[in-house]
Amino acid sequence: MLEALGAQPADALLGLIKLYNADPRPGKIDLGVGVYRTATGATPVFKAIKAAEARLIAVQDSKSYLGPEGDMGFVRALIPYVFGAGFDASRVEGMQAPGGTGAVRLAIEVAKRAGVRRVIMGTPSWPNHAQIIAAAGLELVTFRHGTAEGTADLDALKAALAEAGPGDAVLLHGCCHNPSGVDYTPAQWDEIAPMLVGRAVLPLIDLAYQGLGAGMEADAYGLRTVLAAVPEALVAYSCDKNFGLYRDRVGAFYAVTGDADALSRAMANGAAIARASWSMPPDHGAAAVRLVLDDAELTKEWLAELDDMRGRMREVRDRLAAAQQVGPIAMAPLGIQNGLFSMLPLSGEQIQALRADHAIYMAGSGRINIAGLTSTNIEPFIEALRAVTA
C-alpha cells in the first residue's frame, strides 16, 4: 500500500535547519528559521521563563490531562495583552493550541465549519499559511502584500476585499509580517477596519510576533482596531517568539463575537478539532507563561527582556539601512520594516551562491532573519551580498 505514496518534498524552511547544522564552515551565518538571537548568536531561555519553570517544578503536583482547551489560566491571562485591558471579556473566548501553527490550523478549520470556502491572503506570506489552507481543503485567493518601495499595498487589499463576499475569510498578519517585515501602518489599519465592516468576510488575524515590532501595545493596534469595528473575528496567537518558547509549542486560538451561543459553538468546534488532531496541547510552556503573567515581577522582567530583543533588532535594522545601497539592493526599507524578517530581492542563483560561497543560509524566498546578524557577521554579510549581486 505505502508504495502508492507520492513523493513529498521536505518543507524547505525546516530543511534549511538541517543543511545549516551540517555545514562545517566556522563563519557560517544562519538567517533561516525565525528564532531570535542575541548579539552573540545565542537563543537563550528568557530569565522570566526560567524562574517560572523553577516555580512550576516546585508547585506542579500532577501532569494529569487538562482537556482539549489546555490551560485556561494561560488562555485568559493573555487576553488583556492581546485584546487590550478594557476589552469586553464576554465577546472573546479561547483555547490553547500547539504553537502558532496549531492556532492557525484551529482558526482555519473552525472558519471552514462556519461556512468559509475561500481565504483571501496577501502574498508573499508565511509558507505554512498556504499549506494549512490547502490541507483544510479551502481555496486560497491572493493579492499583493507589499509595494516595490517596501511598504504595504493598501490598494491591493482594498481591491481584494471589493471582490469578497459570503464564504470568504481574509487572513491578516497582526504585526511583524512574515516574511517581509512590511506592516500596515496605524493609519492604514484605520482604513482597513471600516473596509471590513458590513461585508460577510470573516477576519482571521495571525498575531505571532507581538512585542517584536514596536512594542506589546503598538503591535496589537491593527487587531484591536479591526475588533473595535467588526462584530466577529478569529485570532491565532503565538507565544513561541515573544516568550522564546519555540520548541515547547505555545499558542492560543481565540474567537470573538457578541453572540454568546456562537462563541460557545466556536469553542466546542475548536475542541472537537483539537481532539481529533492532538487531543490535548502540550502543557509545560503555557503553564510557564501563565506563571509569568500571574506575577507582577516576572511580568516586568519578561517585558524588559522583550524590550531588549526589540532594541537589538532595531539596531541591526539601522545598520542594514545605513548601507543604503548594496549592488542593486536598496537597503533603506529594512530600517522601517518590523520584526524578525525582511526580504531581499535575490535570485535563486544568488541565494545559492550565498550558501555555497559564503556559508550564508536564508530561505529560498530571499527572506532573512534579522536576528541572525551580529556585530561580527553583519559586515561580512553585506560584503557577501555585494559579491553575489555584482
Catalytic residues: 126, 206, 241
Contacts of 77 (CB under 8 A, 6+ apart): 289, 290, 293, 294
- The nearest distance, CB 12 to ligand LMR, in angstroms, is 10
Distance CA 282, CA 71 (A): 9
- 103 in contact with ligand LMR (CB under 6 A): no
- The nearest distance, CB 174 to ligand LMR, in angstroms, is 14
Give residues 5-44 in contact with ligand LMR (rule: CB under 6 A). Answer: 13, 33-34
- The nearest distance, CB 370 to ligand LMR, in angstroms, is 12
CB closer to ligand LMR out of 124 and 333? 124
| β partners of residue 233 | 256
The dihedral region occupied by 36, where left means phi > 0, alpha psi between -120 and 50, and beta the remainder, is beta
Q: Which residue is nearest to ligand LMR (CB)?
A: 34
Residue 349 to residues 23, 120, 166, 234, 353, Cα–Cα distance (Å)? 19, 31, 43, 39, 6
**Residues 81 and 303: beta-carbon distance below 8 Å:** no
- The nearest distance, CB 180 to ligand LMR, in angstroms, is 12
Burial environment of residue 14 by CB neighbours within 10 A (0 to 12, 13 to 18, 19 or more): exposed
Distance, CA of 61 to chain centre:
33
**Residues 246 and 284: beta-carbon distance below 8 Å:** no
Cell numbers 466577529 correspond to what residue?
Answer: 232
CB closer to ligand LMR out of 178 and 242? 178
Distance CA 32, CA 362 (A): 4
Number of residues in contact with ligand LMR, rule: CB under 6 A?
6
CB closer to ligand LMR out of 11 and 163? 11
CB closer to ligand LMR out of 70 and 124? 124
CB closer to ligand LMR out of 74 and 126? 126
Give residues 168-207 in contact with ligand LMR (rule: CB under 6 A). Answer: 178
- The nearest distance, CB 306 to ligand LMR, in angstroms, is 17
Give residues 324-363 in contact with ligand LMR (rule: CB under 6 A). Answer: none
**Residues 301 and 47: beta-carbon distance below 8 Å:** yes
- The nearest distance, CB 99 to ligand LMR, in angstroms, is 7
CB closer to ligand LMR out of 128 and 299? 128
Q: What share of the chain is helix, strand, coil (3-state, %, to 5)?
A: 50, 15, 35
Q: Where are the alpha helices (DSSP H) in the chain?
A: 12-22, 47-59, 72-83, 99-113, 127-135, 154-162, 186-196, 221-229, 260-277, 284-293, 296-322, 332-336, 348-358, 378-389
Give residues 59-78 in contact with ligand LMR (rule: CB under 6 A). Answer: none
Give residues 111-150 in contact with ligand LMR (rule: CB under 6 A). Answer: 126, 128
- Note the residues at the interface with ligand LMR (CB under 6 A): 13, 33-34, 126, 128, 178
